């Protein structure tokens, strides 16, 4: 799992199918000598008591006792690595160019095309039933596990029990643990092969257990749903989840557009939707200069590298991808990769500048400066979320700059000297 840049792998493996939104606030835990929070889950007797409680909850929700006991037979302690990874904040913001460079690499495109050809018959059958294009399914497979090569090696039950006994998101992971046990019980999956990401996602497309129990399909008809060893089950389950999330058959998820001079960049945000007629009236065109397609659906505009980078029209299917993983970069990577695998153009923009990525420390400094200037009322946390973007836009508006809400080195140096 550490084959690519370690950071990218972690982001991909932790950002799995329909994981609940992450609460990044650390609450209620102790602090050790180095200032790191300590989890109660790591106290052995507290963990044992917590596990007993989780086991009886699972049995109360219909999981047979022998399944529960067998699944926990070898688990005596929490996994400290899981707590550490859950606590960890990325040191650097991932840039769009770096992210897309890693995830939509020429290697992955070539492998994706090979997989598309090799499994074409199966993928077309799945498409006929669920309406999801083959190249889209292959792209999720390629990004989530590098086509089955990297599915993660953390024992799923132990990871989920560890997180369910930690205070950060205990209720969410307790439910995921019960669903994982339900899968062992009713899909007859051997707990010994149930390994995956540190956060409990598993298999070829890194489903969370609740995504599995709610959406997985036994497509090869062997009586069990198997996301580890059955590609028919993997493709049909993924397509079923996408279809139930609103996937529109035959449509793409995004395409690159050109914004005119003077475009109001504060309107470029995945949460701001307009009709294509409204975007056209603002001067938005396809990269080949042609007008946007006619559609009755609303769309949004994403600027993953700020106003100096490429712009993308985000179509209704983009929101479906965001239900799988709520990251703009992930959604664009899936969309661009699937276009490339299908032999179409992914993106015409090329990186025309390079700059060192901002670190979490830079973001804290940026938030401090924005607060000092009256644009950011909240505590500095080093994370770029909607409030930080709104504060940047407020500062950009007051300074006559394009309001893209995007943190970069230029903004950083302006803020360092702003009065
Ligand atoms: Ca099956």
What spacing in Å lies between the alpha carbon of 102 and ligand 1's midpoint? 32
What spacing in Å lies between the alpha carbon of 232 and ligand 1's midpoint? 7
Query: In the structure, what pLDDT confidence band is assigned to residue 7 with cuts at 50, 70 and 90?
Result: very low
Structure tokens at 84: 């550490």
Helix axes 170-186, 156-164, angle to 10 degrees: 150
What spacing in Å lies between the alpha carbon of 56 and ligand 1's midpoint? 29
Q: Kindly tell me if the per-residue pLDDT of 394 is higher than 70.
A: yes
Q: Which of 78-87, 121-130, 215-224, 350-359 has the lowest mean pLDDT?
A: 350-359
Query: In the structure, what pLDDT confidence band is assigned to residue 8 with cuts at 50, 70 and 90?
Result: very low
Asked whether the beta carbons of 169 and 23 are under 8 A apart, the reply is yes
What spacing in Å lies between the alpha carbon of 220 and ligand 1's midpoint? 5
- Residue recorded with tokens 């018959």: 121
**Mean pLDDT, to the nearest integer, of 343-350?**
86
What spacing in Å lies between the alpha carbon of 225 and ligand 1's midpoint? 4
**Mean pLDDT, to the nearest integer, of 330-348?**
94
Asked whether the beta carbons of 262 and 152 are under 8 A apart, the reply is no
d(CA 249, CA 313): 18
6-89+151-244 and 360-417 have identical folds:
no
Structure tokens at 236: 């049909």
pLDDT in tens, 11-37: 333 344 554 333 333 333 444 445 555
Ion ligand 1: residues, CB within 5 A, are 218, 220, 222, 230, 233
Q: What are the residues facing 30 on neighbouring strands? A: 38
Q: Is 72 helix (H, G, I), strand (E, B) or coil?
A: coil
Query: In the structure, what pLDDT confidence band is assigned to residue 117 with cuts at 50, 70 and 90?
Result: very high
Asked whether the beta carbons of 104 and 333 are under 8 A apart, the reply is yes
Q: Kindly tell me if the per-residue pLDDT of 378 is higher than 90.
A: yes
Sign of the CA dihedral running 37, 42, 45, 47: positive
**Mean pLDDT, to the nearest integer, of 140-166?**
97
Q: Kindly tell me if the per-residue pLDDT of 328 is higher than 80.
A: yes
CB hemisphere CA count around 33 (13 angstroms): 0
Number of residues in the chain? 419
Query: In the structure, what pLDDT confidence band is assigned to residue 164 with cuts at 50, 70 and 90?
Result: very high
Third-level CATH fold of 6-89+151-244: Helicase, Ruva Protein; domain 3 (1.10.8)
pLDDT for the residue 239 = 98
- Residue recorded with tokens 């209620």: 28
**Mean pLDDT, to the nearest integer, of 336-346?**
94
In this structure, what DSSP letter does residue 157 have? H
- Percent of the chain beyond pLDDT 70? 91
**Residue 115, H or E segment:** helix 106-118
What spacing in Å lies between the alpha carbon of 261 and ligand 1's midpoint? 54
Order of strands across the sheet with 285-286? Answer: 285-286, 254-258, 311-314, 300-302
Q: Is 17 helix (H, G, I), strand (E, B) or coil?
A: strand
Q: Kindly tell me if the per-residue pLDDT of 246 is higher than 60.
A: yes
Q: What are the residues facing 256 on neighbouring strands? A: 312
pLDDT in tens, 37-69: 567 778 899 999 999 999 999 999 999 999 999
What spacing in Å lies between the alpha carbon of 190 and ligand 1's midpoint? 14
pLDDT for the residue 90 = 79
pLDDT for the residue 38 = 64
- Percent of the chain beyond pLDDT 90? 81
Q: Kindly tell me if the per-residue pLDDT of 95 is higher than 70.
A: yes
Q: Which of 92-106, 166-180, 195-209 has the lowest mean pLDDT?
A: 92-106
What spacing in Å lies between the alpha carbon of 120 and ligand 1's midpoint? 19
CA nearest to 13, candidates 138, 124, 152, 125? 152
What spacing in Å lies between the alpha carbon of 143 and ligand 1's midpoint? 23
Q: What are the residues facing 254 on neighbouring strands? A: 314
pLDDT in tens, 175-210: 999 999 999 999 999 999 999 999 999 999 999 999
What spacing in Å lies between the alpha carbon of 231 and ligand 1's midpoint? 9
Q: Which of 137-151, 287-301, 302-316 has the lowest mean pLDDT?
A: 287-301
What spacing in Å lies between the alpha carbon of 187 and ligand 1's midpoint? 9
CA nearest to 375, candidates 392, 357, 400, 358? 392
pLDDT for the residue 355 = 79
Please give the mean pLDDT across all residues of the chain.
Answer: 90
What spacing in Å lies between the alpha carbon of 181 and ligand 1's midpoint? 18
What spacing in Å lies between the alpha carbon of 9 and ligand 1's midpoint? 28
Q: Kindly tell me if the per-residue pLDDT of 339 is higher than 50.
A: yes
What spacing in Å lies between the alpha carbon of 141 and ligand 1's midpoint? 17
What spacing in Å lies between the alpha carbon of 385 and ligand 1's midpoint? 40
What spacing in Å lies between the alpha carbon of 184 and ligand 1's midpoint? 14
Query: pTM for the complete prediction?
Result: 0.89
pLDDT for the residue 36 = 53
pLDDT for the residue 28 = 35
Domain parsing of the chain, residue ranges = 6-89+151-244, 360-417
What spacing in Å lies between the alpha carbon of 168 and ligand 1's midpoint? 35
- Residue recorded with tokens 């940047």: 392
pLDDT for the residue 294 = 83
What spacing in Å lies between the alpha carbon of 178 and ligand 1's midpoint? 21
What spacing in Å lies between the alpha carbon of 186 and ligand 1's midpoint? 12
Q: Which of 254-268, 311-325, 352-366, 397-411 has the lowest mean pLDDT?
A: 352-366
pLDDT for the residue 296 = 81
Q: Kindly tell me if the per-residue pLDDT of 161 is higher than 90.
A: yes
Q: Which of 92-96, 264-268, 354-358 has the lowest mean pLDDT?
A: 354-358
d(CA 95, CA 273): 24
Look up the CATH number of domain 360-417. Answer: 1.10.101
pLDDT for the residue 208 = 97
Query: In the structure, what pLDDT confidence band is assigned to residue 76 with cuts at 50, 70 and 90?
Result: very high
Q: What are the residues facing 314 on neighbouring strands? A: 254, 300
What spacing in Å lies between the alpha carbon of 68 and ligand 1's midpoint? 22
Asked whether the beta carbons of 241 and 141 are under 8 A apart, the reply is no
Burial 8-20 (b: 16+ CB within 10 A, else e): bbbbbbbbbbbbe
Contacts of 54 (CB under 8 A, 6+ apart): 161, 164, 165, 174, 177, 178
What spacing in Å lies between the alpha carbon of 379 and ligand 1's midpoint? 49
């Amino acid at each position: 799992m550490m084959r690519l840049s370690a950071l990218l792998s972690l982001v991909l493996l932790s950002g799995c199918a329909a994981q609940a939104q992450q609460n990044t606030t650390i609450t209620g835990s102790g602090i050790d000598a180095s200032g790191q929070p300590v989890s109660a889950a790591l106290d052995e007797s507290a963990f044992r008591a917590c596990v007993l409680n989780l086991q009886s909850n699972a049995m109360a929700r219909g999981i047979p006792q022998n399944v529960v006991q067998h699944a926990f037979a070898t688990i005596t302690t929490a996994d400290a690595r899981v707590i550490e990874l859950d606590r960890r904040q990325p040191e650097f913001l991932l840039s769009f160019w770096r992210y897309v460079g890693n995830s939509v690499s020429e290697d992955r495109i070539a492998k994706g095309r090979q997989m598309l050809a090799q499994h074409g018959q199966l993928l077309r059958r799945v498409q006929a039933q669920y309406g999801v294009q083959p190249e889209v399914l292959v792209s999720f497979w390629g990004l989530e596990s590098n086509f089955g090569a990297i599915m993660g090696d953390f024992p799923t039950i132990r990871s989920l029990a560890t997180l369910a006994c930690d205070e950060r998101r205990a209720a969410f992971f307790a439910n995921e643990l019960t669903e994982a046990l339900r899968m062992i019980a009713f899909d007859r999956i051997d707990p010994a092969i149930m390994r995956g990401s540190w956060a409990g996602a598993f298999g070829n497309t890194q489903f969370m257990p609740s995504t599995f129990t709610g959406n997985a399909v036994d497509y090869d008809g062997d009586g069990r749903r198997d996301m580890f060893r059955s590609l028919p089950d993997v493709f049909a389950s993924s397509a079923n989840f996408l279809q139930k999330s609103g996937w529109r058959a035959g449509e793409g998820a995004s395409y690159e557009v050109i914004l005119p001079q003077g475009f109001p960049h504060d309107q470029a945000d995945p949460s701001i939707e307009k009709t294509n007629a409204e975007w056209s009236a603002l001067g938005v065109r396809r990269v080949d200069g042609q007008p946007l397609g006619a559609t009755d659906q609303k769309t949004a505009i994403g600027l993953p590298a700020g106003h100096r980078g490429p712009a993308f029209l985000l179509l209704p299917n983009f929101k479906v991808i965001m239900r799988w993983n709520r990251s703009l970069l992930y959604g664009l990577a899936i969309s661009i990769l699937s276009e490339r695998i299908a032999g179409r153009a992914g993106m015409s923009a090329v990186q025309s500048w390079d700059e060192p990525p901002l670190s979490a420390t830079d973001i804290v400094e940026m938030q401090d400066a924005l607060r000092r200037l009256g644009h950011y009322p909240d505590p500095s946390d080093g994370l770029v979320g909607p409030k930080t973007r709104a504060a940047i836009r407020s500062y950009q508006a007051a300074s006559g700059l394009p309001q893209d809400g995007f943190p970069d080195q230029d903004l950083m140096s302006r803020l360092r000297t702003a009065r």
